[in-house]
Structure 1
Amino acid sequence: MPFEPEELPPATPPFFDDTAGDVWVPLYRHACTFGPDMFVDKMMNMVRNPNLNSSWLFRADIIYDDDPEAETSVESSTSNARPSPRDFTGIPRQRTLVRKLIPRNERRDQPLDQTCTFHRSESTTTPTRSLVLYIPHASSAPDLPFYHPKVRGIAHLHEWHPLQGSGSISVHFLPFQQDDLQDKKVRRTAYRLLEILHKHGQSSAAGYVKRVHHDVVIPQARFQDHYARLKNKYARQLVDSWAESTDPGKHVFEDLGIAAFLMELWADMYKDAAFPGFVDIGCGNGLLVYILTQEGYSGWGFDARARKSWAQFQTEASRSPSGQSLEQRLLLPSVVPGTTSPDAVQISPEAIHDGLFPPGTFIVSNHADELTPWTPILGAISQCPFIMIPCCSHNLTGEKYRAPPPRDKTKSKSTFASLVDWVTHIAEDCGWEIETEMLRIPSTRNTCLLGRRRTKDLDEVNMEALLRKYGGVEGYCANVAGLVKSGPRGH
């Protein structure tokens, strides 16, 4: 069903009666084929995730919920967190929440408390009516932040005819003044709110099941709060001083997001132990290493070619062989035949790393291309946990490679989905339990594979047979030696 809403004329009577006598103005209406329960489900998802409706918002923190069975039922003791509900004739209130809207940039916009209420009337003779309200805790339009329309309240109404199996959805605003609704931005917001509800409701009615799940490893609030702190601290300086030819807007915000995720992950992993240090293999421009070391984490990174930005990102590092945080080194894993002699690739021994790290060192593999499928192998032979964020597809010889389709036939057969499944399979065969997190970063390559728990000991893994199973390593030395002579990639 395409989205073609009916724009309701200004003289349209209210669809429901506010017991306080205020007039809610209907703006747009659209037919729907999803019932009351699905409407409530979609609206609750939007209450918890206001970022679905506004790119200016990170999330909502639920600070009050009168549902005793709700997992997030927390009542704040602060006065502005108390609910400000409204009631309507013939549509009883069933649930009241207060959410705090968290903006992406708190230097520009302030958080806002908002009461959200759910109402429903059911009858055997009239349509079922479900109503969801957003009431901002603000006494006037100037008190509202930029991301909120300048109105006293927002309402979504769902009307359902069970015998016909059809209904309608509509959006209504409670203005401070009637003229407020003539503002184009206000009307555009109303249109957009109804469009998002229509999209999510109709998709579910058609059988759509969400397959991508965020915040599995690290809770959303912890990640976003940490990311906001790092962005405020580093973003402007890094963008203004960017030395590479690549887009600073992409790389800076992407690596700030990855750094925030890693720091929260490490806070969990090492809460009762000293941080063991990290190594970023295929570190590219070195930005991620710079952020992490600036934040007090010991570690280093290396790549086959140096980057222009290394000069400004170079810091002292206690975990690298030379004491520098960024080094030009070629990875020739000890398990690859013929790598024991540097003459095999005509490179000085000082420029080679054998892929063996101190046990426990956390391996970071961020868009490491040729080194991506090697990451779980290096983790296994060195007894090191890791994350890998796959990007371009290469096999164990370093050549470009189209991995076989995913084992799960319901998944996409794209090159990227195939790569993710293939490297996951390698990791599992190496004895790793793999956790998957879809990172909240500005990249379509945002799948993070985490290996921190073993399913079997290393002596149970036949590494020689594993390398053969995944295509062998013949030609690896020559292929990766060519990286030193070729120009650097964008990362």
Structure 2
Amino acid sequence: MPLSTLRVDNALWETAAGYQQSCSLTSERFLQVTDVLLENPNLNSTHLFRADILYDDAHLLQTVSEKEEQCQVAASADLGREATRADNSPPPGGVASPLPVVPGALLRRQVLRRLIPRKPQVDPPLDQWCYIYRLAKSSSDPGYVVLYVPQVEDESHMPWYHPTVKALAYTYECTASGSKLSIHFLPFSRSSDALPSRLHRTFVSLLQTFLRLAKIPAPSSQGADQDEGNSTSPVLSLAPSALKDTILPQHIVQDTYTRLKRTYAQDLISRWVEKTEPSKHVFEDLSIAAFLIELWKQIYPPGTFPGFIDFACGNGVLTYLLIKEGYRGRGFDARRRTTWKVLQMEDYLDEMVCIPQPFLDHAPADLSIERLQKSGMKVHNGLFNGVFNGLPNGLFKPGTFIISNHADELTPWTPILAALAAPESPLPFLAIPCCSHAFSGAKHRYLPKDVASSVEDTASLNGTEDQAATGDLKALRAARIKAANHQDDKSMYACLTKKVVALAQEVGCDVELTLMRIPSTRNIGILGQRKRVYAAGNGTTPAVDDVSLGKEESHKTLAALQTHTLAALQTHTMTDKVERILLRECVKSGGISEAARTWIERAQKLQKGQGRGKVNLGGKPNGQTEQLNRID
């Protein structure tokens, strides 16, 4: 390898022609991409989850403790997690000393980060100092050097996911002929042998990734001040930059996901009996379970979790994980799955169809609840506020948490049922929309005008669907990419998501959005009532029927009567509100009665037969298969 022109502490750095490329970068864009890679080393290596920022003397990147403070995460929520500094103070050992010296450059910034691997049982985390220097040249567009120095004693301590070099550097230089980006490295020892092929590929990849990211438009600041994804703002942005990690910090959820994956993934994949590919579904449910576990730790004081209900639970893996983790709850689906028996979950999962109470009230006489039950159909009205399906262990406590994960037909009903079950304060819920359906259960694509009909402020939702020019494949491809990245406000998924948000707000739910870190493009989480549950659990909301012990018995009786009257009034008001919503939403289905008929007839078809799976012939009861070695 030829020697590099870069000089740091007079060490002999190396580079190659293949690690240099002319570019049209500006210094501003170079620094922006540098910050992206500082926080997201996983863009360069699939073996990495993320980087935890421990210190930034320029205060441009949030430390893990600052992210927790921003999301109002209690520091004592996970006592096993390493303590972090709350004020971005220097690490216990102080800043790096001595500081590397780059001749002809001025040190502008120091960052200490911790690289977090996907498989900590294989490779440990790695602390790394990052230094940003400005080249002291008189130029309208100055150059920069970004230096990465891993904190290891010698080459043998370098983890697999990091190049085996003492230090690595990006240089950005401006000359009369244009800009140039290059990669330089400091080997542990000089050798006349050719560079190992893996290391060579790594350097080429680092250069190409940087240039690729530089071509991506910088995220717009629009929506950045919208209460961190709170959908009560006039303009509802579904861009990832506006929704990512708005509820919980990335590191907390990913650490729990890593623990769950290590505990359950092998066994679940080895016992998989569904026809679908196990890896995607198992890892998706592990991710959702990690999010819910950390969410519930934050909003419920210890010992107060009321339980959960998993709408359309499918194979039941998510319910299985939550129950294994000690959370009380149940799931239901229209058809029993073979997985339920394999996972020994038949005492926690119920085969039944949900016919919402408003549809039962408007059902035609030939489809009344009595006739349906006589025919052997297992029906629930969707109001999970009491005895569930007649089972002794099916008693739900007030405030039961609703999980609506890719529940399809039940997705638009989720906030409605949450409100009907508890009119005085709708039940909390997490809805992850997937396929779009009307209230009747029929497939339906909502348009921006359908969303606007549910909200008062329609300034950002009016418009018609944009269609790519006939035969324009490039435009069609661009439109699909835009929709997959949630950048198309008129896409099917965007309109469905906004429709559910609008319905939730219409029935009085406090709603927030967050981007779920799951292996799916249907990955927006709609979270209802989180702030209210947190406030109630921490005593910041006065109780409705708070009566002091010093009051006379007559005053207590009067307060109880007033509370009962208020609850009855709220129930009546909520019923009327839902009735008005259904009258509006069911027009396209021929009215509420016809929509009820459509729903019930579809439900009858769904409950015929049992969901069967294709046995994984490689599976073993103890959870050991060759496939497990490829777990992500």
- Give the TM-score of the pair, scaled to structure 2: 0.69
Aligned twin of 1:98: 112
Separation of aligned partners in 1, 2:490 and 2:401 = 31
What is the letter of the counterpart of residue 168 of structure 1?
K
Correspondence 1:321-332 to 2 at 5 A = 324-332=347-355
Q: Does 1:464 align with 2:579?
A: yes
Greater shift after overlay, 397-406 or 238-247?
Answer: 397-406
- Residues 6, 184 of structure 2: 8 Å contact kept: no
Residue 76 of structure 1 is matched in structure 2 by 91
List per-residue Cα deviations over 1:159-190 (Å, max 9, x = no partner).
235x98x5221111212234476211111111
In the alignment, structure 1 residue 187 sits paired with structure 2 residue 200: yes
Q: Please name the residue that 2:11 is paired with.
A: 21
Q: Distance in 2 between matches of 1:30 and 1:206?
A: 25
Match of 1:3 in 2: none
Which of the numbers 409, 415, 419 marks the counterpart of 1:370? 409
Unaligned 5+ runs, structure 1: 1-9, 317-323
Cα shift readout 1:220-276 (whole Å, capped 9, x = no counterpart): 010011001111111111111112222111111110110000011111110366001
Report deviation, 1:49: 1.4
**Structure-2 change in CA distance of 1:364 and 1:18 (3 Å):** same
Query: Which residue is 2:212 aligned to?
Result: 199
User: Residues of 1 paired with 2:219 and 2:525: CA distance?
Assistant: 30
Q: CA deviation at 1:349?
A: 7.5
2:44 and 2:138 map into 1 onto residues whose CA distance is 34
Match of 2:518 in 1: 441
Structure (1 or 2) with the greater strand fraction: 1
> How many Å apart are 1:314 and its aligned residue?
3.7
Deviations 1:394-440, CA, capped at 9 Å, x for gaps = 11111111121473777243322232222222222222232111111
Deviates more, 1:266-275 or 1:18-27: 18-27
- SS of the equivalent of 2:105 reads coil
Q: Write the deviation string for residues 191-215 of structure 1: whole angstroms up to 9, x where unpaired.
A: 1111121122222379899921321
User: Which AA in structure 2 matches 1:381?
Assistant: L
Larger relative contact order, structure 1 or 2 (CA cutoff 8 Å, min sep 6): 2
Cα distance change of structure 1 residues 372 and 298 upon mapping to structure 2, 3 Å threshold: same
Give 1 or 2: higher helix fraction.
2
Q: Distance in 2 between matches of 1:356 and 1:241?
A: 33
1:249 to 276, 279, 300: 279
The 1:379–1:349 alpha-carbon spacing in structure 2 relative to 1, beyond 3 Å, is farther
The within-5 A match list for 1:84-483 is 85-124=99-138, 128-160=142-174, 166-179=178-191, 182-204=195-217, 211-213=239-241, 214-271=244-301, 274-315=304-345, 324-336=347-359, 337-338=361-362, 341-343=368-370, 345=372, 351-358=378-385, 359-382=398-421, 383-405=426-448, 407=461, 411-452=488-529, 459=573, 462-471=577-586, 472=592, 473-474=595-596, 475-483=598-606
Give per-residue Cα distances to partners, 1:83-125, cap 9 Å, x unaligned: 6742200111111122111101111111111111110024335
Q: Which amino acid aligns with 1:374?
A: W
Whether contact under 8 Å (2:430, 2:528) holds in the other structure is yes
Match of 1:44 in 2: 35
Structure 2 SS opposite 1:115: strand
TM-score, normalised with respect to structure 1? 0.87
C-alpha deviation, 1:71, in angstroms: 4.5
Closer, same or farther: CA 45–431 of 1 in aligned 2, 3 Å: same
1:16 offset after TM fit, Å? 2.3
For residues 439 and 236 of structure 1, the distance between their equivalents in structure 2, rounded to whole angstroms, comes to 23
Which residue is 2:52 aligned to? 61
Deviation sequence 1:430-475 (CA, Å, 0-9, x none): 22232111111112221111111599x7736611111122235342
The 1:125/1:422 distance shift into structure 2, 3 A limit, reads: closer
Confirm or deny: 8 A CA contact 1:97 1:116 kept in the other structure.
yes
1:13-67: per-residue Cα shift (whole Å, max 9, x none)? 5232222333242452223333212211221221111111111111111223333
Aligned length: 469
TM-aligned CA deviation for residue 370 of structure 1: 1.2
The amino acid that maps onto 1:470 is E
Distance 1:177 1:18 in 2: 16
Give the Å deviation of 1:346.
5.5
Conserved 8 A contact 2:26-2:141: no
Task: Give the Cα separation in 2 of the matches to 1:153 and 1:189.
Answer: 14
Q: What SS is found at the alignment partner of 1:462? A: helix
Q: For 2:529, what is the secondary structure of its paired residue?
A: strand
2: distance between equivalents of 1:206 and 1:361? Answer: 38
Give, in whole Å, the separation in 2 of the partners of 1:248 and 1:206.
35
Give 1:334 shift. Answer: 1.0
Counterpart AA for 1:271: P
The separation in 1 between residues aligned to 2:181 and 2:314, in whole angstroms, is 50
| Aligned 8 A contact 1:432 1:453 in 2 | no
Query: What percent identity do the matched residue pairs reach?
Result: 38
Instruction: Name structure 2 gaps, 5 residues minimum.
Output: 64-87, 223-237, 386-397, 452-460, 464-486, 533-569, 587-591, 614-632
